[in-house]
């Protein structure tokens, strides 16, 4: 999938050809380029950026200087590329687009993780990802110290309010869970609760792995944790109203997970540049 995405990204950028490089850069000119962090952050996407350069020109010499997941300071050298100047300049923007976007996701995830490190709560991503980028953005969340939620609709049943309306009574819900666990035992089950009454009902069901506490107040979250108790196998996930100002308070209620859509739908790109030096 990554190679398909790279080819698509290069095609939309290059089109019929890089006219700037073709007309203003001598064909035989060699160059050295350094990818440099302009701001502090967590790096993700280096392998993808490297693949972009090789897709444009397999003869480029690319040296990756840090690892994904590394915390870097402004001025940190991330990658060195040596070879034809035209090739480097043609690949530059696409490589940076991937690297800046994914490093931005990793950096934001790391901010959230740092704010809850005094608790046992884990920061989760969501399915609110850039179409086509899901695997890449979810890896970036891991590079930032977060945890992946379900990858798609196929690896966890997440029963939300609309599903519950369609399903009807609690007995029918229990029967649906039973059938799923029997036919697809590897699939986990998560139920969304809008109030504490639903939490009470869901805790009585067999086969429930997670309860999503949707848009609940801190007091309601604490009550849900008390209702669940210390030894109940069901994990509690808080969602809604989560931002950098509220996440610590939510974590302190005792929930196990906090899902943050902003990790992937609102992460600002990390400022990374390419310093270019002609050779010879």
Give the strand order in the sheet containing 257-259: 122-124, 257-259, 235-239, 210-214, 188-193, 156-159
* Claim to verify: residue 201 and residue 230 sit in the same structural domain: yes
* Claim to verify: residue 73 and residue 142 sit in the same structural domain: no
* Claim to verify: residue 105 and residue 124 sit in the same structural domain: no
Report pLDDT for 170: 87
Report pLDDT for 230: 80
- pLDDT-based confidence at residue 162 (cuts at 50, 70, 90): low
Give every CB contact of residue 234 below 8 A, 6+ residues apart in sequence: 202, 203, 208, 209, 210, 211, 228
- Rounded to the nearest integer, the mean pLDDT of the chain is 95
Number of domains present in the structure of the chain: 2
What CATH number is associated with residue 229? 3.20.20.70
Residue 124 near residue 257 (C-beta atoms within 8 A): yes
pTM of the complete model = 0.95
Is the predicted pLDDT of residue 167 greater than 60, yes or no?
no
User: What percentage of the chain has pLDDT greater than the value 70?
Assistant: 97
* Claim to verify: residue 105 and residue 165 sit in the same structural domain: no
* Claim to verify: residue 77 and residue 134 sit in the same structural domain: no
Q: Which residues are catalytic, by number? A: 93, 128, 160, 192, 214
Report pLDDT for 232: 83
Report pLDDT for 163: 59
Report pLDDT for 189: 97
Please provide residue 219's backbone torsions phi and psi, each rounded to the nearest 5 degrees: -65, -40
Report pLDDT for 161: 73
Q: How many residues does the chain have?
A: 280
Nearest to 30 by CA among 106, 84, 97: 84
C-beta atoms surrounding 226 within 10 Å: 11
> Span 240-268, mean pLDDT?
97
* Claim to verify: residue 30 and residue 96 sit in the same structural domain: yes
* Claim to verify: residue 105 and residue 211 sit in the same structural domain: no
Residue 131 near residue 270 (C-beta atoms within 8 A): no
* Claim to verify: residue 261 and residue 122 sit in the same structural domain: yes
Nearest to 37 by CA among 103, 136, 89, 93: 103
User: Which domain, by its residues, includes 51?
Assistant: 2-109+267-279
* Claim to verify: residue 256 and residue 183 sit in the same structural domain: yes
Q: Tokens 């050779």: give the residue.
A: 279
Report pLDDT for 198: 94
Report pLDDT for 160: 86
């Amino acid at each position: 999938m990554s190679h398909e995405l790279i080819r698509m990204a290069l095609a939309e950028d290059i089109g019929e050809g890089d006219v700037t490089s073709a007309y203003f850069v001598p064909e035989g000119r060699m160059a050295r380029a350094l990818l440099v962090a302009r701001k502090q952050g967590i790096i993700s996407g280096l392998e993808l950026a490297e693949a972009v350069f090789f897709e444009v020109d397999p003869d480029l010499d690319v040296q990756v200087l840090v690892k994904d997941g590394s915390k870097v300071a402004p001025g940190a050298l991330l990658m060195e590329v040596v070879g034809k100047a035209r090739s480097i300049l043609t690949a530059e923007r696409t490589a940076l687009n991937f690297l800046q976007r994914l490093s931005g996701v990793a950096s934001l995830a790391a901010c959230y993780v740092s704010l809850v490190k005094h608790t046992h709560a884990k920061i989760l991503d969501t399915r609110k990802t850039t179409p086509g980028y899901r695997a890449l953005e979810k890896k970036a969340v891991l590079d930032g110290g977060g945890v992946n939620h379900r990858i798609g609709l196929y690896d966890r049943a997440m029963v939300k309010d609309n599903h519950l309306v369609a399903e009807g009574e609690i007995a029918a819900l229990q029967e649906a869970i039973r059938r799923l666990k029997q036919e697809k035992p590897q699939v986990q089950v998560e139920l969304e609760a809008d109030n504490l009454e639903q939490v009470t009902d869901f805790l009585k069901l067999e086969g429930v792995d997670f309860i999503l506490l949707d848009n609940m107040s801190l007091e309601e979250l604490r009550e849900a944790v008390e209702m669940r108790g210390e030894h109940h196998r069901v994990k509690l996930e808080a969602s809604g109203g989560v931002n950098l100002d509220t996440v610590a308070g939510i974590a302190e209620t005792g929930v196990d997970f906090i899902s943050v859509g902003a990790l992937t739908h609102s992460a600002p790109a990390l400022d990374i540049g390419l310093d270019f030096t002609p050779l010879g």
